[in-house]
A and B are shown apart, each in its own frame.
Chain A
Amino acid sequence: KQEVTQIPAALSVPEGENLVLNCSFTDSAIYNLQWFRQDPGKGLTSLLLIQSSQREQTSGRLNASLDKSSGRSTLYIAASQPGDSATYLCAVSGSARQLTFGSGTQLTVLP
């Protein structure tokens, strides 16, 4: 059974810092990996999707990497802003295309 772990559970940084969120998964036979953002009381917004054959994806200040063999992914946020404050969720998709989520990292960017 796939298990996804996200470290740290919470992170607080001053504005302008670069930061890395970590995600690990136990079964490397994944189809793709998605990073989501969730604001309080809201649904999930997809940030980046990495296919199993890819190593990384970039969107603006966000860069996600995938090392399938070691069961790890990182989400890099450059020049963090207070508007980046949210919970970031990592999810992996298996052969049935269902997502297994981690518990998330709650990020606070201080002005």
Chain B
Amino acid sequence: EAGVAQSPRYKIIEKRQSVAFWCNPISGHATLYWYQQILGQGPKLLIQFQNNGVVDDSQLPKDRFSAERLKGVDSTLKIQPAKLEDSAVYLCASSVIQGGSSYEQYFGPGTRLTVT
């Protein structure tokens, strides 16, 4: 089965510019997550979708970050305007209930964002 797809893989922008990332989860996976991974740290959850509804966005900096999941499949994460501290790898993951108990998450390759 195809994995989680993300694009672009790399992006360099100047501060105050805007940027958007795209994620296509594994087919049939209802739950989609966006994580931010700063260099040297573990990933931190930004937002979780169940189908096209938001489950948790408590750690999303809503003054500059936004995310949507149209038709419960693909998702986009946008930053506007970007700050230097947004430089990180943005990871998308998806999961599905397996036997009612697994929720194992599968990750995409990530988008490495550099803000100069």
Residues of A within 8 A of B (CB): 4, 31-32, 34, 36, 41-46, 49, 51, 89, 91, 93, 96-104
Contact = CB atoms under 8 A, between A and B. Distances in A.
Contact of A32 (B45, B48, B103): B103
B106 A46 contact: yes
A97 B31 CA distance: 10
Interface residues of B, number: 26
B92 to A, nearest CB: 9
Contacts of B21: none
Given A42-B110, A43-B109, A99-B105, A104 B31 contact: no
Contacts of A4: 42
A101 B41 CA distance: 9
A103 B42 CA distance: 4
A96 B48 contact: yes
A102 B108 contact: no
Contacts of B62: none
Nearest to B112: A41
Given A91-B42, A98-B48, A101-B43, A43 B102 contact: no
A44 B91 contact: yes
Contact of B91 (A43, A96, A98): A43
A89 B56 CA distance: 23
A102 B42 contact: yes
Contacts of A93: 103
Nearest to B95: A97
